[in-house]
Amino acid sequence: LLSFREFLFIETGEIYPVYDFASSTLPVQPDSKILFLFRKYREYGTRPVYNQDNFEEKALELLNEVFYADIPFFLQSVTEENLRLMKAIANTLLTSGSLKIPVRQLCSEWSIGAEKLYQLLRVMESSGIIKIIRAENDTKIMTAGSKLFLADSCLYRAYAFNEDIEREAFATMCFSQLGYEIEATKNNGNLIITTSLRKGYNRYILDIAGNGKKTRQYDYLLKDNTDLPVDKTIPLWLLGMMW
C-alpha cells in the first residue's frame, strides 16, 4: 500500500523525509495544499490505480481478485463456498459499522464450524484483506480478535462508511506497514502499539479521535482534522509519512 509520503511524491514530485513516530521533527510543514492532498489520499491514495477513473470500482475489483485468484492459487484446498463466506465477512465489515463479526451467526448460516471460520480469518489476514486486532495478552490460537479492520482503509470509502472506524482502520494500516504489533486495550478498546525495531523496545497506548478530544490516560492521542502536533497529540496525516 502506498504511504501518504509516496502519494505526495507522485502528486508533487517532492521527496519528504520519513517521519519518526512521536518525534517533534516534522517532515514537511502542513500547509493547506498538504492537508488537502491528505484528504484525497484518505479517499483513494493507497493504491497506484488511484489516478484512474472510478477508484471505488477498481479497488473492489482488486479485492475480488485476491479472493478469486490469489487465495485459490496459494490455498488450493479452499472451496467456492469458503470464498463466498470470506467475501461476506469483508462486506460485513464494510457495511455494518461494526468492528466484530457475529461468529455464531455466520457458523449457523454457512453451516461451518468455528475452527474453520477462524482458519478462514487467518487466510484473509495473510492475504492482506483484513487485520485482526487481539486484546492485550490474548494468546488464544483461534480468535476473531477484539477488532477486525479491512487492511486497506480506503476500501471503507467505497461504501457509506463510519468515520470513527475508518480513522482507526487508517491508524492500524499505518502501524501495520511498519511491523508494529498492535493490540486493543481490554477496558476501552484503544490501541496498543509495540515495536522492538531499531531504537529498542517501545510500547504506547493510543487513543484515536476527531476534533475536540483531549488526552487523559493515554500516551498519545491521534487526532483527525488538525495540522500540528501539540504535547501528546499527533495529527493523523503524520502517520502516513512513516514509511
pLDDT recorded at residue 175: 96
pLDDT > 60? residue 214: no
Q: What is the pTM of this model?
A: 0.92
Q: Which of 237, 172, 243 is nearest to 28 (CA)?
A: 237
Segment 158-174 shows an average pLDDT of 89
- Transcribe 75-96 into DSSP letters: -TT--HHHHHHHHHHHHHHHHS
pLDDT digits (tens, 9 = 90+) for 9-58: 999 999 999 999 888 899 999 999 999 999 999 999 998 888 877 877 88
Amino acid, res. 8: L
Residue 189 confidence (pLDDT): 64
Cell of 61: 475489483
Residue 67 and residue 71: Cα distance in Å, rounded?
A: 6
* Per-residue pLDDT, 197: 53
**Location of C-alpha cell 482488486:** 62
Nearest Cα residue to 96 out of 188, 167, 183, 159: 159
With 0-12 / 13-18 / 19 or more C-beta atoms within 10 angstroms meaning exposed / middle / buried, residue 208 is buried
**Average model confidence (pLDDT) across the chain:** 90
